[in-house]
Structures are given as structure tokens and as C-alpha cells.
Chain A
């Protein structure tokens, strides 16, 4: 069975702190995709990153960075020097590379960045 676990329900940080959002997944597929999405209060899910299971390179995009470790089935997301605008719910998702194109979402982590 496929499953995505985001154990942190809610995190509060003060502006400019670094914060890491955890994501652990389970799948029997040998190839798959992992994603992170941001959901601000407006409701729209905003795509942040996609990672292929065969590519374990970490990625950095501005203040965002992602650490993919296949050995621990984790795909963690770090925001450096957080800002109030980062406040949102963040979702990690898993999808197979073939057949059904159905995302399995985690339950999300609500991040509150306080000024």
C-alpha cells in the first residue's frame, strides 16, 4: 500500500528562523515521484517541487531546499530564514510513474510564521 506521513500537524516559528517539514512515504513501486505543494489560505495548491525516485540529489531554490533520502523513505523540506508569507499548509505527495496518475497526499503540516 502507498502512504505518505507528515507527522508534524502544526509548526510555529518566529520570522527568520529556519524550519524543516518532514515527509515519510511508503510504496512498493521501484520508481515513483514525490512532490511538495503549498496551500495558502486562498485554497489553491501551489506546486513547489517534483523529485524522481532515481534522483537523490538535493535541491535548493532560493530559501527552499529539499532533502530526499531513499534509504529512509524521506523527502524533507526546509525553509531558510522563514517569512510571514511562508505561512500556509504544506503537503507532501507520492505518485507512481506509470499506470494510475493518482497522488497520495500526506495530511499536511500547517506552518505559522510569526512576525
Chain B
């Protein structure tokens, strides 16, 4: 079974631009979560989507948004990029089923804002 895939793997953007990252979960997984990883702040939860609805949101500004499609694929968008948005963005999927609580992560998208 294929794992979580994320595209693109690397991105370089300029301050003020916007960016869209994509995540395809493991087949059958209906929950998708996004995390930001930086050397200073570590791994921080951005949001979780299930059945095309955002269920939870972390403590990030409104410039960070996301959505989920009917096939469970998810995108996250960051508008008006700032230098501090440079990070590894990780997507994780989860099989929403009793007894299954672990998340499986993709390889991440490394975003560099210049």
C-alpha cells in the first residue's frame, strides 16, 4: 500500500507570495492533519480535516488555511508568506476506525521563503 505522498517536495518562494501544498493520504485514510516543523518551534499542529471538514486548528494565523476533497486528498495554503514560514510542512493521515489512532506521515514539503 502506498504511503502518504506530498507535493512538491521542495519550494522556494518570495515574501508576500502565496503557496499551496498538496497531500494524498494512504488509501482508506479519511483524516488528514498538517504540521509545521521548524528548528526553533519544533513540530506544531496546524489543522486536521475529516470528511472535508476542518475538525481542529492549531494556533496559527489566518494566513494558514486548508481544505480536504471528497477523495480525502488535502491542500494547505499559506498566503502573504513571511520569512518565518520557512519550514518543513508535514502531512499525516489516519484511518478513522476504533483501535486505530496512529498517524502516518508523508516525507514533507520543505518551504523556503526568501
Q: Which residues of A contact B (CB under 8 A)?
A: 33, 35, 37, 42-47, 50, 91, 95, 97, 100-108
Not counting A95-B101, A101-B56, a sample of 4 additional A-B residue pairs whose C-beta atoms are within 8 angstroms of each other reads A37-B105, A44-B106, A45-B105, A105-B43
Looking at the assembled complex, report how far the CB atom of B20 sits from the nearest CB atom of chain A, in whole angstroms.
20
Contact of A102 among B48, B88, B104 (CB under 8 A): B48
Residues of A within 8 A of B55 (CB): 100-101
Nearest 10 A-B pairs (CB), nearest first?
A45-B105, A105-B43, A100-B56, A102-B45, A44-B107, A43-B108, A50-B102, A107-B42, A47-B102, A33-B101
Residues of A within 8 A of B65 (CB): none
Q: Is the CB of A103 within 8 A of B107?
A: no
Q: Which residues of B contact A (CB under 8 A)?
A: 31, 33, 35, 42-45, 48, 55-56, 58, 88, 90, 92, 94, 101-108, 110
Looking at the assembled complex, report how far the CB atom of B109 sits from the nearest CB atom of chain A, in whole angstroms.
9
Distance in angstroms between the alpha carbons of A102 and B94 in the assembled complex: 12
Residues of A within 8 A of B42 (CB): 105-108
Chief secondary structure at chain A's binding surface:
loop
Distance in angstroms between the alpha carbons of A50 and B101 in the assembled complex: 8
Looking at the assembled complex, report how far the CB atom of B3 sits from the nearest CB atom of chain A, in whole angstroms.
8
Q: Is the CB of A47 within 8 A of B103?
A: yes
Contact of B43 among A42, A46, A91, A100 (CB under 8 A): A91
Q: Is the CB of B90 within 8 A of A45?
A: yes
Looking at the assembled complex, report how far the CB atom of A100 sits from the nearest CB atom of chain B, in whole angstroms.
4
Question: Which residue of chain A has the shortest Cβ distance to B101 in the bound complex?
Answer: A33
Distance in angstroms between the alpha carbons of A46 and B110 in the assembled complex: 17
Question: Residue among A44, A97, A104, A108 with the most chain B CB within 10 A?
Answer: A44
Residues of B within 8 A of A101 (CB): 31, 33, 48, 55-56, 94
Question: Which residue of chain B has the shortest Cβ distance to A48 in the bound complex?
Answer: B102
Residues of A within 8 A of B107 (CB): 42-44
Looking at the assembled complex, report how far the CB atom of A105 sits from the nearest CB atom of chain B, in whole angstroms.
4
Question: Residue among B33, B102, B106 with the most chain A CB within 10 A?
Answer: B102
Looking at the assembled complex, report how far the CB atom of A93 sits from the nearest CB atom of chain B, in whole angstroms.
8
Looking at the assembled complex, report how far the CB atom of A95 sits from the nearest CB atom of chain B, in whole angstroms.
7
